[in-house]
Structure 1
Amino acid sequence: MYKKLFLITLLALLISSQAFTCTNFLITKGASVDGSTMITYAADSHTLYGELYYQPAMDHPEGALRDVYEWDTGKFMGKIPEVSHTYSVIGNMNEFQLAIGETTYGGHKELQSQEGAVMDYGSLIYIALQRAKTAREAIEIMTSLVEGYGYASSGESFSIADPNEVWILEMIGKGEGEKGAVWVAQRIPDGFISGHANQARITTFPLNDSQNCIYSKDVISFAREKGWYDGMNKDFSFSDVYAPVDFGGARFCEARVWAGFNKVASNMDQYTEYAKGVIEHGGENNFATNRMPLWIKPDKKVTVKDVMEMMRDHFENSDLDMTKDLGAGPYKLPYRWRGLTWQVDSVEYCNERAISTQQTGFSFVTQSRSWLPDPIGGILWFGVDDTYSTCYVPMYCGINEIPECFKVGNGDLLTYSPTSAFWTFNKVSNLAYLRYDDMIGHIRELQSKIEGQFISYTPAIDRAAKMLYDDEGDLIARNFLTQYSVNEANNMTANWEKLFEYLLVKYIDGNIKKENDGVFERNEYGLPADPDQPGYPEWWYRAIVNSTGEHFKVQGSAGH
């Protein structure tokens, strides 16, 4: 009986681990150096291709219907009435600087399906972006859609930002037999940052502060009907009731939020044990008592580059550092091929799940800037593949064309394309995985150089676009921003192709070619100079000997 229960539990963990796929951070105006709001998103899926979606603004005739397809699978879900006008959307940001990201947390299994439901989480995002101008409008639209047409996904956390406000919305369906979802949305206080990573994070919330917190009228009563809560309303915790944190929720999910917070705040050591998966319970309702707060104040205001770096982490310099255990191999590779858990002698162990992971389709950092006209103020800093080795390029929210390197249809996950940024960046990262500690330095150097140039160019591009906007109108400014964004994205991809060629030549076959002032060395006769062959570090050789005994010992070699 015990063995059967263990296997069921293990299977549930393995299934749920497939959903540990995304990471978001939320930055308010008062927490950023320049007064922009920002959100981040990493779409970490083993089946998602890295491309940049684009929906132009459109007018629709009266009575028009919209087909809804599930974002994850492409399954047709149903039809809903279309609105008379929809806004243009670049990726996850619309022309009014509204940006939305998400992470899936699952929650109670019996709430994860709803027969006849039309709205999945991805459709909620992209429909809201086409219909809303502000974060509050987006929340109203998203919650109204699930109320009217049902919710077809499991528990979901949404990051929603406009130029002035940043909100987190957490939602979970009502399961079979009842249409819709229960939900809570909270505004992140100005000067603070938040984050979520596949674990519901809203716990208790104010019941009488509609300026900063809104929620479904039955969010508490529904839980009471299900028998999941019988305490006082003021003590109700959304996460602890609908998606209680467990080892996986802390170690695989909350640890990523902790790691990102660690980069900008110095007081996160107190949550280290929690990040390791140690959950303490107590109080009248036996909720988790050692959780991280929903938001924190950074030590200093953050730049867009700081936020990009929050998305680049393998738990370096922490107790969970992925470069320092045997699994990193001789070249300190901070990646572990899936699954997340494994067994030895019927004992279960886990790999870490870091912010940066190999299977990312695309990621972004959005900037919404209230002091500029909307088409100029919004920037989607977009990248493909692994966040640690990607390069974020500015896609202004007012552009009307997608670069060839990011265009939908330019290759897919099963079709290689030499002009696709996704495939170009994957060539570099997958090559680097073979000799990581040597190659990653080259990648990070080029990444820093290009992103630094983009960031330094931004004020000048803003000014030029604003001058065109004021003197010649919206369309001329948009065309200028489109040309800039498209050219820079394609040029960046070309530079990454050159990086691949350089790394391939320098590190082929385990050798390391010598260089002099950036030129590969040749001998006096014009042939390639003998390469370096550094071998493996001593600790790795010792690990081999400890594992194999005298199997590789050279006969006659003296021992000590």
Structure 2
Amino acid sequence: MNTVTALINIGVVLFAVGGADACTSLLVTRGASADGSVMITYTCDGEFHPHLEYTPASDHAESDSFEIRDWQGKLKGRIHQVPHTYSVVGLMNEHQLTITETTFSGRRELHNPHGMMHYWHMMRIALERARTAREAIDVMTDLVDRYGYRSTGESFSIADAREAWLMEMIGPGPGGEGALWVAVKVPDGYISCTANKARIGEFPLNDPENCIYSDNVISFAVEKGYYDPDSGEPFRYRDAYCPATPKNRRYADARVWSIFRRAAPSMNLSPDYHRAVKGAKPYPLWIKPDEK
């Protein structure tokens, strides 16, 4: 059994029996898998995924709309429907586009209860309307720009047959517009992992092939006092919008460490960071596994 396959099996066993509401996603690029496939694992330890739902591909009239409902089924609004939507099974569509998530919550004051789009609305709509990971990012970010973002901080794992992306998003606070987000492509030959804590640190500002972000992701943080551009430190998304605490390091980063140390024993990753040892460095956003 190859290393990555073993990790997927271990992840399903270990994390599926973990604490309630603990979600973990492992992203594997083509160059990191033995058969050249892009893969995402998803363990969602909640009670809202009891079965796989199938939605067939459909054509829609110009007057058709998509209903936005909350967890209890209450209608919250409607958005314009597109002429054609793709078939979806669970969290994958007919074009092998897959989207999963883990919630990192982040700064409480940035929750916007007036937005329309919860993360599960965005995932579902993107799967019905997009063919690739990049298209899905465009769909999801356009939705929050148009209708507002209602969820707390989320990490989305988005993959198609060729690429794997990680997008992290948080709201602008009550009554605010859009969302603060960054999306990065996992380099081919590498794996990444997210586990209920924002993971994106410093990111390239002028590399749209590998990183895209909301126009105000840095300026908003400066305005709110989350980041001081005169500090001499680069802007890091995770530090601005989901500051590390001993609790979230132990709860979330321990899972990242557990996966990475199995994928690349040669790195000898220290457990100090998830144990909240002073001065310990955060784990990298992605690593190259010792074996495929």
- Measured in 1, the distance between the counterparts of 2:74 and 2:264 equals 42
Query: Structure 1 residues 193 and 279, CA, compared in 2 at 3 Å: closer, same or farther?
Result: farther
Question: Structure 2 residue aligned with 1:294, among 270, 285, 289?
Answer: 285
Q: Check 1:262–1:74 CA distance in 2 against 1; reply closer, same or farther (3 A cut).
A: farther
- Helix, strand or coil at the partner of 1:273: coil
CA shift in 2, pair 1:19/1:110, >3 Å: farther
Q: Secondary structure at the match of 1:272?
A: coil
Q: Following TM superposition, where does structure 1 have runs of at least 4 consecutive aligned residues deviating by more than 4 angstroms? A: none
Secondary structure of 1:209's counterpart equals: coil
> For residue 25 of structure 1, what is the aligned residue in structure 2?
26
- SS, match of residue 275 in structure 1: coil
CA–CA distance in structure 2, aligned partners of residues 207 and 19 of structure 1: 37
Q: Partner letter of residue 66 of structure 1?
A: F
**Against the structure 1 CA distance between its residues 73 and 204, is the aligned structure 2 distance closer, same or farther, given a 3 Å change threshold?**
farther
**2:271 aligned partner:** 272
Q: How does 1:123-522 map to 2 (within 5 A)?
A: 123-231=121-229, 235-267=234-266, 269-280=268-279, 290-301=281-292
Residue 226 of structure 1 aligns to which amino acid in structure 2? K
Distance 1:129 1:78, change over 3 A: same
The C-alpha deviation readout for 1:70-111, integer Å capped at 9, x for no partner, is 3x5544321111111100001000000000000000011011
Residue equivalent to 1:54: 54
Q: Is the 8 A contact 2:69 2:75 kept in 1?
A: yes
Aligned pairs for 1:8-23 within 5 A: 20-23=21-24
Separation of aligned partners in 1, 2:63 and 2:95: 26
Partners of 2:266 and 2:20 lie apart in 1 by: 29
2:171 corresponds to which letter in structure 1? G
TM-score (norm 1): 0.47
Closer, same or farther: CA 25–292 of 1 in aligned 2, 3 Å: same
Q: Secondary structure at the match of 1:61?
A: coil
Distance 1:234 1:135 in 2: 31
Residue type at the aligned position of 2:53: Y
Partner of 1:158, secondary structure, is strand
User: 2:220 is paired with a residue of what secondary structure?
Assistant: helix
- Aligned residue pairs, count: 273
Whether the aligned pair in 2 keeps the contact of 1:19 and 1:198 (CA below 8 Å) is no
Aligned twin of 2:92: 93
Segments of 5+ residues of structure 2 without an aligned counterpart are 1-18
Kindly indicate whether the alpha-carbon contact (under 8 Å) linking 2:133 and 2:164 is maintained by their aligned counterparts in 1: yes
Distance 1:123 1:22, change over 3 A: same
Q: Is the 8 A contact 1:29 1:35 kept in 2?
A: yes
| TM-score (norm: length of structure 2) | 0.89
Residues 76 and 254 (structure 1), Cα distance of their counterparts in 2 relative to 1, 3 Å cut: farther
Render the CA deviation track for 1:505-530: whole Å, top value 9, x for unaligned: xxxxxxxxxxxxxxxxxxxxxxxxxx
Give the RMSD, CA atoms, in angstroms.
Answer: 1.7
SS state of the match for residue 100, structure 1? Answer: strand
SS in 1 for 2:109: helix
| Unpaired segments ≥5 residues, structure 1 | 1-17, 281-288, 302-560
User: What letter is aligned with 2:185?
Assistant: R
**Residues 262, 268 of structure 1: 8 Å contact kept:** yes
In 2, are the aligned partners of 1:114 and 1:173 still within 8 Å (CA)? no
Query: 1-side partners of 2:169 and 2:266: how far apart?
Result: 30
After superposition, the Cα gap between the structure-2 partners of 1:153 and 1:75, relative to the gap in structure 1 and judged at 3 Å, is farther
CA distance in 2, matches of 1:191, 1:279: 32
- Which residue is 2:14 aligned to? none
CA distance in 2, matches of 1:76, 1:201: 33
Higher helix share: 1
Q: For residues 267 and 72 of structure 2, what CA distance do their matches in structure 1 show?
A: 38
SS of the residue corresponding to residue 207 of structure 1 reads: coil
Q: Deviations over 1:197-219 (max 9, x none)?
A: 00000000001101000000100
Higher strand share: 2
CA–CA distance in 2 between the matches of 1:75 and 1:267? 51
- TM-aligned CA deviation for residue 228 of structure 1: 1.3
- Residue of structure 2 in register with 1:486 after alignment: none
Give the % identical residues.
51
Look up the SS of the partner of 1:263 in the other structure: helix
Contact 1:271 1:291 in 2 (8 A): no
Between the aligned partners of 2:278 and 2:74, the Cα distance in structure 1 is 38
CA distance in 2, matches of 1:210, 1:19: 37
Amino acid at match of 2:98: A
Partner of 1:121: 119
Per mean C-alpha deviation after superposition, the further-off stretch among 243-252 and 187-196 is 243-252
Partner of residue 64, structure 1: 64
Counterpart CA distance in 2 for 1:73 and 1:191 is 42
**1:114 offset after TM fit, Å?**
3.2
**Cα pair 1:106 1:156 within 8 Å, conserved:** yes
User: Which residue identity lines up with residue 246 of structure 2 in the other structure?
Assistant: F
Q: Describe the shift of the 1:212–1:242 C-alpha distance in structure 2 as closer, same or farther (beyond 3 A).
A: same
Provide the secondary structure at the position in 1 that maps to 2:252.
helix
User: 2:216 and 2:95 mapped to 1: Cα distance?
Assistant: 32
TM-superposed CA distance for 1:247, in Å, is: 1.2
Deviation (angstroms), 1:263: 2.1
